[in-house]
Amino acid sequence: MAYDLVVGRGSKVKDAAHIVGGIEFGELPAILRLLERVDSSFVRRISNLFEDQAFSVAEIEQVLPQLLPLLTLNLRPDEEALLHKLISVLSYAKWKQLGLYGIAD
């Protein structure tokens, strides 16, 4: 994977972090199209697959209301698949009340 999405107290294995998803380089066009549909610092930050990112529980709780309305739009299949992946990862992190980390490979 080009970019691992990790949920835990930190991004390291010692922090009881778990890889719950990932983004491949081929998904970058879908990310960029999502950015045209929503002004989201989360989507903007994960669009840089070469830079690690960290998102707190508070940030995660702000992102979900931005992304969930996109489910009702007529999206291209790759955008829809990416959106479902992002919502799933964010929902898992929120449910566990742990941070989400984007780790560049």
Would you list the domain boundaries of the chain?
A: 3-104
Which CATH code, of 3.30.460, 3.40.1760, 3.40.1710, 3.40.50, is assigned to 3-104?
3.40.1760
What is the predicted pLDDT for the residue at 10?
73
Residue 47: phi and psi, rounded to 5, are -70, -15
* Structure tokens that stand for 95 in this block: 């449910």
Locate 76 and state its tokens. 């291209």
Q: What pLDDT is recorded for position 105?
A: 79
CA atoms lying within 13 Å on the CB side of residue 64: 15
Question: Which pLDDT does position 49 carry in this prediction?
Answer: 86
What's the pLDDT at 17?
Answer: 80
Model pLDDT, residue 1: 62
pTM: 0.90
Mean pLDDT by runs of 10 across the 105 residues of the chain is: 86 73 94 94 92 95 96 96 97 96 90
